[in-house]
Amino acid sequence: MADEHHFVLKVKVDDLSTAALEEKIQSFLNGDRTNIIVTPNPEFILAAEVDKEFETVLSHADLALPDGVGLRFAVAALHDGERLVHRHTGGEALQLLAKYAAQLQKRLLILGGSGKDPEVVATVLKEQYPGLDVVAFDPGIVDDEHPRLSEAVTARLKQIDAQIIAVALGQGRGKTQGKQEKIMESLRSELPSARILIGIGGVVRVLANPHLQAPELWRRFGFEWAWRSIQQPWRLRRIFRALILFPLEIIWATLKQRRFFKACKNVVKELKQHFGRN
């Protein structure tokens, strides 16, 4: 299976069909090493521009699934002849992992989340995938400035012995952006029996609260963020970064490359493809 990928500024994103992604997941689960899956969105790109450690963590990931629809237009703006065709949200990836965990008899751990949400999601996944072995575990408060789990929590994770760990510790804010991905990287060597570590951010909250899940039409066009901003107005700061700061960063990059007008032409073409296809 040949992998296709693109770069959005300094961050690589993989462009895989659902079938190719399923094949990749199975190869990870049947392999002999720990693999990290990240789900970049525009906020990731902005954070990687100013945080060298976060950029390094993303570059070391074994798979980078583009989550935000804005990455599609960024690829068109930055590269002639390239298109980011496939997008996989964290929620979709979690569903696929649960599916193959049940089929291959692997244990799935939901690490983090708020309140009762992780237990609710665990129950929902068990109903969807009979035979699934899924555990929810709360690691407690994690220091944003020093994103590592305590020795006691790590020891407990070793006891749970999950082959798939879905990390729902949040992306952090400002200088702490990328908190959960940095924790995943630290766990790679500490949990040798794990086969997949994936960062899922706020997916647990959304799956546990159906009113936060965008209608199908909104999801089809990649407007999940708009629906969630309506339901959770406190997210507007993040929406501002994705809708204003990120495009400005891409525009500045095209100006430095002296390809601004060509980039505009490519983005218009991509917009037509996106809305015409959907």
Q: Per-residue pLDDT tens for 137-166?
A: 998 877 767 778 989 999 999 999 999 999
Of all helices (H) and strands (E), which one includes residue 168? strand 164-168
Residues sharing a CB contact under 8 Å with residue 61, sequence separation 6 or more, in sequence order = 36, 37, 38, 181
Amino acid at 95: Q
Per-residue model confidence (pLDDT) at position 210: 80
CA 197 – CA 48 distance, rounded (Å): 20
CB atoms within 10 A of CB 69: 20
Higher per-residue pLDDT: 225 or 278 = 225
Distance of alpha carbon 1 from its chain centroid, rounded? 22
**What is the structure's pLDDT at 148?**
82
Mean pLDDT of 190-214: 88
Q: Please compute the mean of the pLDDT values over residues 23-51 and round it to a whole number.
A: 94
Give the pLDDT mean for 163-174.
Answer: 82
DSSP string, 194-206: --EEEE-TTHHHH
Burial level of 130, CB count in 10 A (0-12/13-18/19+)? Answer: exposed
The model carries a pTM of: 0.90
